[in-house]
Amino acid sequence: EAGVAQSPRYKIIEKRQSVAFWCNPISGHATLYWYQQILGQGPKLLIQFQNNGVVDDSQLPKDRFSAERLKGVDSTLKIQPAKLEDSAVYLCASSEGTGGAGTGELFFGEGSRLTVL
């Protein structure tokens, strides 16, 4: 079974520039998540999609971050304009569902490492 695919793996940009990250979840997984992992910290949820609808984007800095999941499969996370503090690894994860009686185990991609200079 193919895992969660992310690209690019690495990106270096200047502050105020824009960047986009792409994620392809595990086939059949209804829920897709974008997490931000700053060096030395645990993953922090930015946005959660159920199919192509947003379940939770309460911690997404909406003045500069945007995300979409067209057709309920692939997703793109965009940052515009980037700030120095956006330097982090952006992890995409997927799960079969959001929980209920199940666990909603998260399957993570390898992440996209962003450096903002």
Say how many CA atoms lie within 13 Å of 24 toward its Cβ: 6
55 binds another protein (CB under 8 A): yes
Q: Which of 16, 44, 62, 83 binds another protein (CB under 8 A)?
A: 44
In this structure, are residues 50 and 31 in contact, taking their beta carbons and an 8 Å threshold?
A: yes
Does the protein bind another protein through residue 8 (CB under 8 A)?
no
Q: Using alpha carbons only, give the angle 88, 86, 113 rounded to the nearest 5 degrees.
A: 30
* 40 lines the binding site for another protein (CB under 8 A): yes
Q: Which stretch binds another protein (CB under 8 A): 15-23, 62-70, 76-84, 105-113?
A: 105-113
Residues in Cβ contact with 110 at an 8 Å cutoff, skipping those fewer than 6 apart: 6, 9
Q: Quick one: which of 24, 47, 111, 116 contacts another protein (CB under 8 A)?
A: 111
Among 28, 42, 63, 70, binds another protein (CB under 8 A): 42
Q: Sort strands 75-79 and 65-68 into parallel, antiparallel or unpaired.
A: antiparallel
Interface contacts to another protein, rule CB under 8 A = 4, 40-45, 48, 50, 55-56, 91, 93, 98-100, 103-106, 108-111
